[in-house]
Amino acid sequence: MRGSDRIGAPMILYATVLGIIVVTLLSVSLARLGSVKTKADYLVAGRSLPAFVLVFTLLSSWIGSGSLLGGAENAYKHGFAALWQSAGGWAGLLLIYFIAPRARKFAQFTIPDLLESRYNQTARVLGVIAVLFTYTAITSYQFIGGGDILHMVFPQLTARDGQFILAGFVIVFTAIAGMGSVAYMDVVIGLLATCTMIAALPVLIHLAGGWSGVRAAVPATHFRWFGDIHPFSSYYIGPILADGSREKVQSAFEIFLPTCLLMLGNQSMYQKFFSAKSEKDATRATVGWIIGTVILETIIVAIAVVGSAMYRAGEVQARPREILAYTAIHSFGGWSGSKPLAILGALLVGAIFAKVVSTANNYLFSPATNLVNDIFVRYLEPEASNQQVLLVSRLMVVGLGAWALYQSLGTTSVLKKSLYAYTIYSAALTPVILAAFFWRRATAKGAVASIAAGTVVTVGWDWMTPHLPAVIAARDAILPALVASLLCLFIVSLATKPPSESHLRPFEG
């Protein structure tokens, strides 16, 4: 079935499913509210999360609009070559298996806690700045994804109206009960998304005329590992904007690398490990997370490829980031007389919406904990009561949510925004986080120089490129930022006095 054959989707069904999801998530948040009495309850769920809950909250926090919009858009245009971005996360997960028990043993609240303990206060403050830049940027494009879905389900709303509504949902959900709320909402969302996407893919392949029909409808390069590119060479991802402008992404490696490094240093992930019941729960959860991430991200790309076969023309060409929800609405809703398929389509749209909400919750909550734990409690009110900490935490969620919303209003490309966010974190924080656990010679001065260099090069790269030789200016920011960060870490560390044995002991396995 092609786009011209479809029958209008029963939007009341989609609206009902979204309404049920919102009410369910709100109920989970309110149910957890009574258990939040202390700083540890709010920030790390009282360090009580079992492996089962950890699996789904890790899965839901990682797979959001970056995969559902940016990754799907890439797959719509270039087919299974889009998996290079996902593969970066998979590679990072293999190393995380060995990091998880060490992180739980360390048992702090945030990444800047780790940076100060291993390095110094300056590293803590610079870490907070890098997290704020990265995580509010990631939250901002979740708002874009949710706004797109609400616009498709409720055409009377503009996508921008949807961004405001989604931001309101996320801010309320996140502020209510902290990590416990976020984690247990993620169980509901993770189960819904996993089951629905697994069920939807074979049905969509059938509707597209089988796998042979899909292959016949799209370029042959969609089924090659590097699509219409060669590894480590430049290629184009655009057009992304409605006006046809194009965004150049330098190579498969430059998509793989930021994702891998973000995964390795991801504060949201470390907070989940800090929230685990035990080191064993953290390790077990990582195994489930690896399996779930590989399955879900592959299915997301596959659905986008099938969608590109079904809808090569039409309005989705102008906004290819919407291909997943567009395919669900126009394929399942369009098979008249089949209520089960209409329900499956509505559930798929609801699952995509819920995943966006979940990721926004996680990436909004994480920097709020930084401002509270690493700035307010650490420097402004060291003797703050639990009630004060909870109040300020919720106010920080509201403030950062407003900032993320402001960023979303000026964002045109989710893929570009995601790569920018990943690069800041990958270059500024991941090297010093990994060094904290695996390189005994890393020093405080080396870490400070590394964080500063990675952040400055990433944020200033667009400003610097007009003044650089063309061969360097053509590169994506991740390579120069990472090189600058690593050089500063190694050179400055080797030139300064090594840390003491007692200082290193908490970070060793």
pLDDT, tens digit (0-9, with 9 covering 90-100), for 362-394? 788 888 888 888 888 888 888 888 788 888 888
**Which residue has better confidence, 63 or 348?**
348
User: Which pLDDT value is given to residue 375?
Assistant: 86
Q: Are 131 and 113 in contact (CB under 8 A)?
A: no
Helix 444-464 / helix 121-153 crossing angle, nearest 10 deg: 40
Q: What is the mean pLDDT of residues 131-150?
A: 87
Q: What is the mean pLDDT of residues 212-238?
A: 64
pLDDT-derived band of residue 99, with 50, 70 and 90 as boundaries? confident
State the Cα angle at 216 between 212 and 222, rounded to 5°. 100
Backbone angles phi, psi at 431, to 5 degrees: -60, -45
Domain with residue 376: its CATH number is 1.20.1730.10
Q: Residue 244 corresponds to which tokens in the numbers above? A: 């046809």
DSSP-derived secondary structure for 416-479: HHHHHHHHHHHHHTHHHHHHHHH-TT--HHHHHHHHHHHHHHHHHHHHHGGGS-HHHHTS-THH
* Distance between CA atoms of residues 388 and 215, nearest Å: 59
**pLDDT at residue 5 above 50?**
no
What domain range is 166 assigned to? 3-507
User: Which pLDDT value is given to residue 57?
Assistant: 78
Tokens 């590293």 sit at which residue? 123
User: Which pLDDT value is given to residue 69?
Assistant: 77
Which range scores top for mean pLDDT: 120-124, 147-151, 399-403?
399-403
* Distance between CA atoms of residues 476 and 496, nearest Å: 31
**pLDDT tens digits along 41-68:** 666 556 667 887 888 878 877 787 678 8
Count of the separate structural domains present in the chain: 1
Q: Are 85 and 252 in contact (CB under 8 A)?
A: no
User: Which pLDDT value is given to residue 427?
Assistant: 86
